[in-house]
A and B are shown apart, each in its own frame.
Chain A
Amino acid sequence: MNKKTEEFSLNKKTDSGRGRGRRGIVLRLGGYVLAEWQLFIPAVAFTLLSNQLSLLGPRYSGAAIDAIEHVGGVDFPVVWENVFRMILCYGGSAVLAYILAVIMLYLSQRIIYRMRRQIFEKLNTLPVGYFDTHATGDIISHISYDIDTINSSLTNDLVQVMTSVYTVVGSLLFMWRISRPMILIFVFTVPVSIVFTRYRSQKVRPLFRARSRKYGELNGYAEEMLSGVRSIQAYGRQDVISERFNVHNKDAMDAFYSSEYNAALLFPSINLINNVSISMVAILGGILYMYSQSGRIAAGSMFFITLGGVAQFVQYSRKFAGPINEFSNILHEFQSAFSAAERVFAVLDESPEPADAPDAGKLDRVEGKVELDTITFGYTPEKTILRDVTVKADPGQTIAIVGPTGAGKTTIINLLMRFYDPVSGEIRIDSVPSLKLHREDLRRAFTMVLQDTWLFHGTISENILYGRENATMEEVRAAARAARIDTYIESLPEGYDTILSDDGVNISKGQRQLITIARAFLADAPMLILDEATSNVDSRTEIKIQEAMWELMRGRTCFVIAHRLSTIQNADTILVVQKGTIIEQGNHEELIRLGGFYSTLYHSQFS
């Protein structure tokens, strides 16, 4: 077991070495893009084509201008021909650009859709502990803010990068054809741009990472406080909470500002380098043209240049410089996208619930024998919650767990359901160690009614059907009847099709509880866990339910965190839990005879 954990953490280390770091993130994002190769390859093709056409534009306009400048008057046929070519090129380029935009839209949407799906599906495999330790708002911000950021970067920047690369290479070729000496200028300025960009982006990256994190915290806080807005109002704490929200707000905005402040340097600086390059082009081009005109440079020499040539060269060098400019701008956006991707990948890299053992068996027909064998457990290594707990339940027996709050009763349930696994000891279902069972089979063998009711946005029947999807409407009604909620549901104008809205007022907490009980009836599992299930249903409803509960419990192995004496008295075994150990165990008569903690409690309520 220990060895296994070690191996696991070792794996994780190498894993994170690969996954983190900028190169890792780029490669991983690249993987998503390449997975959509059916769209990506046409996208590349269209980018190249569209750019080829728009690069040809200045060439034809240069030719047209040369024809205008023609010695002996304007050479109209050549001008018209070139103008016509320009129109064709630009028209074609526009059509291609639109097609490209649509392809890229679908490409990025597919990637984003896939990422969101992966995150969500990942979330469902994570251990319960993850949700206990992460704010819901923070989880949500992965799927909204982080994904949003990656999305806008993908749609806009990917094409930009491809276009840029192509434009840079293309322009360079054209410039090479026009005048080789003038290209020398860029041999100096381009490396300067690259080095500067790299240096700055390294400085700025941690700032963007901090910014993403702060946004997550802000969202988490907003989520948490919004969920408690009624209590906040009841205490008139709106101002105080708003102030505290603002602290997070301020933190996030400070992080935003400091990342922007530092990033602001990059774009104009690169622009400066480019403008200087163009100035140099003008100077050098001017000088070369003068010498060409004066005849000091012979036509046919590599230094020879016409006025149209100078104009074209300037245009191409603008085209050439533009993407380099853009690069630095895009890099800025990539910074946010990378840190967002980093956060997304961090979720995807979370270790899920450990896989089922390779020799894990199926759990087909469950008899319902449950044994807990010297279980010791703590949520953190420092604090042991349960110590050497041993319990045995035969099929169909009812185990009532009683004891003061915080004694570890809920923990026993967590272990039975394998939300957590014990540190030592073993749980056996029908004599099979539960670690040797498929987790899903094991959980399906239990029906659970928790103290926190959970219903989702959907119709009442959908919520009940959640217990067993293939049940008929007749079975749903029967379950509702068993939970004594049928009359209420049928009194609603929409009946079973009534939509349960979020935090809705249209249904009380007790009624919500009854719906979850109906769900449990429908699930019809061989074993039952009731965690203070009836605490939200008031006594009158409870009386009605009681018979139904007995019916539900009959023939099933039940673990009940109980507070009704009738439940406890009729239980086959009562576990009295205190401070993580079972201090008394036996049926009602035995425990009363024992004269210990249980009997004191029992007698105290009549005093």
Chain B
Amino acid sequence: MKRILSYLMPFRFRMVVGFLIKVTGTVAELLLPFILTYILENVIAALDVRRVVLYGILMVICSIIACVGNIAANRMASKVTADFSLAVRRDLFRKTMYFSARDTDAFTIPSLESRITTDTYHVQNFVGMMQRMGVRAPFLLAGGIIITLIMDKALALVMIATLPLIGVTVFGISHKGVPLYTEVQKSVDAMVRVVREDAQGIRVIKALSKNDYENRRYDRVNAELSRKECRVGVIMGIVNPVMTLLMNLGIAGVVAVAAVRVARNASSPATVIAFMQYFTLISMAMMSLSRMFAMYTKFAASARRIAEVLDTPDSFFVEEDQGDDTDKACISFKNVSFSYFGKKKNMENITFSLPEGGTLGIIGATGSGKSTLVKLLLRFYDTDSGEIRIRGRKITSYTREELTSLFGVALQNDFIYADTILENIRFGRDIPMDEVVRAAKVAQAHDFISAIPDGYEHMLSSKGTNLSGGQRQRVLIARALAGRPGILILDDSSSALDYKTDANLRRALAEDVSDSTVITVAQRVSSVKNCGQILVLDEGRIIGQGTHEELLETCKEYREISESQMGGAFVE
């Protein structure tokens, strides 16, 4: 809560100004019944029509001030709201962009997404509401109470007596409401997940004619969400009627006490009438408060979910390391072990070293840990034991920027977004056009891009669905090459290329990036056989290490793979 409200701090000056304008407007509005009473009590008694009209005009002037003040204040409030949620959403998104892989896994992407969208939206609504009504309502309430106290203490106290009861009700219900709203948001997450999966798997769903199944699956989460919303609504719905009832009982009490006081000449009937006016005003203020309060519970639940993200500590630490002068290798792994969940080891005692400008091939069965190794090298995860050094320095001594500037990566789970081909290769980097073209040529992408009428300016759809698998991979390789990285990592990124294109790619790579250190993760022996060193992985362990020729001699698994593929695999 505090975390979220701290985002309002920069706007405090504007909020104060808005507040003052609002207060002026509210005071003007509050004066209306006051003048009204005055007219009824004093002016009318004097039987002076001119003064009645005069005071009437005064009321009109107050009304105008109230109107102008409210418009100005509400506009300022909207601006603050817009700026506030701009900042919250900006930081929230940025934070998720910097999340470690473990954090993203823990929150899950759909949940992060709904935090950025619906939760922020709730918070924004509340902040807007708070400014529009949050000043007015308490002020009307306080002002009303003070004026009634001045007018007639005894009557005012009767009315005030209901306030603690209202407070207790509101507090009690809010106590119950917040956790229930948290539950609701959880169900929203689940619902969003199903829609997301459905949108992504539509081809499979249609192929298997699974509409009914999907509809049922969705219906479960949909019904669950409705049920939870009802549960929280039934409880939150109590607030309003109870509040109104208490206020109205106050009115009845005031009338009863007034009767006694008027009989004793301690009060006048005109005072009672004015009192009723203020009472209506106060009860209207209470209404707004109760509405705000209903929103508050929703806000609190969402604010907490946002704060959870914002408060997640950055697990990326940087430590001092002077470097090991004896380690001349570009990349070295020493006894590296790692586990995703702390149960089964996904990487065990990995040791290898790769010289500057060397080439490394990694091959192995599904789940053998090839991608895990790459993820460790990119520091998506930290090792559990052992150490990774890059150019003699521990990987943990590199800052984020240093680390990413070392690599050019084409990952297995390719990411193409809705923008031009050019932008997808540039990927937000400041890379001149001729570099982009050079990279695309090496990646064997230039030809097919040039064949498109608008070439590099061609718009790709989200996830690159308007490209074939092989074209996507080549765009990704071009992206990796465009930054002229010192270390190039190709994680299973040419699997959809036909052999001829793949062979051309290897040849071009050998010429173009001869200075770079290249790591190739692949399923085809032909993609790695020219590497200076090949690792054969199995269940997180190295079971073979050496050149293609050596491995054919020493590693049975490698030989098996190799034999099955020579003359086995063909064009796509």
The reply to whether B465 and A240 form a contact with Cβ atoms under 8 Å apart is no
| B146 contacts A by Cβ under 8 Å | no
* B559–chain A nearest beta-carbon distance, Å: 11
* B268–chain A nearest beta-carbon distance, Å: 9
Give the total of B residues in contact with A, Cβ under 8 Å: 187
Contact of B40 among A256, A310, A466 (CB under 8 A): A310
The reply to whether A289 and B44 form a contact with Cβ atoms under 8 Å apart is yes
Residues on B with C-beta less than 8 A from A231 are: 409, 411, 413-415
The reply to whether A83 and B256 form a contact with Cβ atoms under 8 Å apart is yes
Where chain B touches its partner, the secondary structure class is helix
Query: Given contacts A123-B198, A227-B415, is CB(A98)–CB(B237) below 8 Å?
Result: yes
**Could you give, for residues 86-125 of chain A, a 1 whenever the CB lies within 8 Å of some chain B CB and a 0 otherwise?**
1100110111011001100110011011001100110111
Query: Given contacts A139-B199, A290-B44, is CB(A219)–CB(B213) below 8 Å?
Result: no
Bound form: Cα–Cα A456–B216 in Å: 14
| B78 contacts A by Cβ under 8 Å | yes
The reply to whether A509 and B412 form a contact with Cβ atoms under 8 Å apart is yes
The reply to whether A466 and B97 form a contact with Cβ atoms under 8 Å apart is no
Within 8 A of A (CB), among B469-511: 469-471, 479, 483, 492, 495-501, 503
Give the total of A residues in contact with B, Cβ under 8 Å: 182
9-residue interface stretch from B103-111, B175-183, B384-392: B103-111
Residues on B with C-beta less than 8 A from A69 are: 262, 269
9-residue interface stretch from B114-122, B347-355, B544-552: B114-122
| A459 contacts B by Cβ under 8 Å | no
Query: Given contacts A74-B259, A94-B242, A467-B208, is CB(A540)–CB(B557) below 8 Å?
Result: yes
* A428–chain B nearest beta-carbon distance, Å: 19
Within 8 A of A (CB), among B23-78: 25, 29, 32, 35-36, 39-40, 43-44, 47, 49, 52-53, 55-57, 59-60, 62-64, 66-71, 74-75, 78
Residues on B with C-beta less than 8 A from A310 are: 40, 273
| A169 contacts B by Cβ under 8 Å | no
**Could you give, for residues 214-257 of chain A, a 1 whenever the CB lies within 8 Å of some chain B CB and a 0 otherwise?**
01001110111111111111111111111011100110011011
Contact of B470 among A112, A225, A405, A501 (CB under 8 A): A405
What residue in chain A is nearest B428 (Cβ atoms)? A240
The reply to whether B67 and A144 form a contact with Cβ atoms under 8 Å apart is no
The reply to whether A568 and B570 form a contact with Cβ atoms under 8 Å apart is yes
Could you count the A-B residue pairs with CB atoms below 8 Å apart for me: how many are there? 542
The reply to whether A128 and B263 form a contact with Cβ atoms under 8 Å apart is no
Where chain A touches its partner, the secondary structure class is helix
The reply to whether B568 and A120 form a contact with Cβ atoms under 8 Å apart is no
The reply to whether A511 and B462 form a contact with Cβ atoms under 8 Å apart is no
| B270 contacts A by Cβ under 8 Å | yes
| A344 contacts B by Cβ under 8 Å | no
Rank and list the top 8 A-B pairs by shortest CB-CB distance, nearest first. A510-B366, A405-B470, A236-B404, A228-B415, A240-B428, A275-B63, A260-B78, A94-B245
| B318 contacts A by Cβ under 8 Å | no
* B227–chain A nearest beta-carbon distance, Å: 9
What residue in chain B is nearest A502 (Cβ atoms)? B108
**Could you give, for residues 408-422 of chain A, a 1 whenever the CB lies within 8 Å of some chain B CB and a 0 otherwise?**
011000000101000
| B530 contacts A by Cβ under 8 Å | no
Residues on B with C-beta less than 8 A from A110 are: 226
What residue in chain B is nearest A271 (Cβ atoms)? B67
The reply to whether B404 and A86 form a contact with Cβ atoms under 8 Å apart is no
Residues on A with C-beta less than 8 A from B12 are: none
The reply to whether B82 and A254 form a contact with Cβ atoms under 8 Å apart is yes
| A176 contacts B by Cβ under 8 Å | no
* B410–chain A nearest beta-carbon distance, Å: 9
| B81 contacts A by Cβ under 8 Å | yes
| A40 contacts B by Cβ under 8 Å | no
Contact of A440 among B209, B400, B496 (CB under 8 A): B209
* A522–chain B nearest beta-carbon distance, Å: 10
9-residue interface stretch from A20-28, A550-558, A598-606: A598-606
| A351 contacts B by Cβ under 8 Å | no
| B520 contacts A by Cβ under 8 Å | no
**Could you give, for residues 538-568 of chain A, a 1 whenever the CB lies within 8 Å of some chain B CB and a 0 otherwise?**
1111110000000000000000011111101
Query: Given contacts A505-B105, A604-B500, is CB(A68)–CB(B259) below 8 Å?
Result: yes
Query: Given contacts A246-B90, A282-B39, is CB(A454)–CB(B255) below 8 Å?
Result: no
**Could you give, for residues 463-485 of chain A, a 1 whenever the CB lies within 8 Å of some chain B CB and a 0 otherwise?**
00011010000000000000000
Residues on A with C-beta less than 8 A from B209 are: 440, 443-444
* A18–chain B nearest beta-carbon distance, Å: 27
* A93–chain B nearest beta-carbon distance, Å: 8
**Could you give, for residues 365-379 of chain A, a 1 whenever the CB lies within 8 Å of some chain B CB and a 0 otherwise?**
000000000000000
| A318 contacts B by Cβ under 8 Å | yes
The reply to whether A105 and B244 form a contact with Cβ atoms under 8 Å apart is no
List 12 A-B pairs, Cβ < 8 Å. Answer: A74-B260, A101-B237, A124-B198, A124-B202, A141-B117, A260-B81, A310-B273, A311-B40, A508-B366, A514-B366, A563-B498, A564-B570
| B514 contacts A by Cβ under 8 Å | no
Residues on A with C-beta less than 8 A from B572 are: 402-405, 409, 532, 561-563
Residues on B with C-beta less than 8 A from A80 are: 256
The reply to whether B570 and A290 form a contact with Cβ atoms under 8 Å apart is no
Bound form: Cα–Cα A265–B200 in Å: 44
The reply to whether A97 and B244 form a contact with Cβ atoms under 8 Å apart is yes
Contact of A503 among B108, B202, B230, B276 (CB under 8 A): B108
**Could you give, for residues 208-250 of chain B, a 1 whenever the CB lies within 8 Å of some chain A CB and a 0 otherwise?**
1111011101110011011001100110011011101100110
The reply to whether B252 and A238 form a contact with Cβ atoms under 8 Å apart is no
The reply to whether B229 and A131 form a contact with Cβ atoms under 8 Å apart is no
Query: Given contacts A94-B242, A136-B462, A144-B114, is CB(A403)–CB(B469) below 8 Å?
Result: no
The reply to whether B90 and A120 form a contact with Cβ atoms under 8 Å apart is no
| A201 contacts B by Cβ under 8 Å | no
The reply to whether A109 and B226 form a contact with Cβ atoms under 8 Å apart is yes
The reply to whether A506 and B276 form a contact with Cβ atoms under 8 Å apart is no
Bound form: Cα–Cα A532–B570 in Å: 12
Residues on B with C-beta less than 8 A from A283 are: 39, 52-53, 55-56
Bound form: Cα–Cα A532–B109 in Å: 28
The reply to whether A536 and B71 form a contact with Cβ atoms under 8 Å apart is no
Bound form: Cα–Cα A249–B87 in Å: 9
The reply to whether A538 and B366 form a contact with Cβ atoms under 8 Å apart is yes
Bound form: Cα–Cα A457–B195 in Å: 11
| A145 contacts B by Cβ under 8 Å | yes
Query: Given contacts A68-B269, A124-B214, A268-B70, is CB(A230)–CB(B248) below 8 Å?
Result: no
The reply to whether B500 and A90 form a contact with Cβ atoms under 8 Å apart is no
Bound form: Cα–Cα A571–B291 in Å: 70
What residue in chain B is nearest A141 (Cβ atoms)? B117
Bound form: Cα–Cα A133–B340 in Å: 36
| B327 contacts A by Cβ under 8 Å | no
* A303–chain B nearest beta-carbon distance, Å: 15
Residues on A with C-beta less than 8 A from B55 are: 282-283
| B407 contacts A by Cβ under 8 Å | yes
Bound form: Cα–Cα A502–B106 in Å: 10
Bound form: Cα–Cα A272–B259 in Å: 34
Residues on B with C-beta less than 8 A from A132 are: 461, 465-466
| B205 contacts A by Cβ under 8 Å | yes
**Could you give, for residues 305-340 of chain B, a 1 whenever the CB lies within 8 Å of some chain A CB and a 0 otherwise?**
000000000000000000000000000000000001
9-residue interface stretch from B1-9, B186-194, B432-440: B186-194
* A60–chain B nearest beta-carbon distance, Å: 9
What residue in chain A is nearest B444 (Cβ atoms)? A405
| A162 contacts B by Cβ under 8 Å | no
Bound form: Cα–Cα A210–B343 in Å: 51
Query: Given contacts A271-B66, A564-B568, is CB(A105)–CB(B237) below 8 Å?
Result: yes
The reply to whether B380 and A230 form a contact with Cβ atoms under 8 Å apart is yes
* B416–chain A nearest beta-carbon distance, Å: 8
Contact of B365 among A215, A466, A541 (CB under 8 A): A541
Contact of B411 among A222, A226, A234 (CB under 8 A): A234
| A267 contacts B by Cβ under 8 Å | yes
The reply to whether A61 and B571 form a contact with Cβ atoms under 8 Å apart is no
* A91–chain B nearest beta-carbon distance, Å: 6
**Could you give, for residues 55-67 of chain A, a 1 whenever the CB lies within 8 Å of some chain B CB and a 0 otherwise?**
0011001001101
User: Given A83-B259, A314-B277, A532-B469, 9 more contacts at CB 8 Å?
Assistant: A131-B202, A226-B112, A275-B29, A280-B56, A446-B207, A501-B105, A508-B366, A535-B469, A565-B570
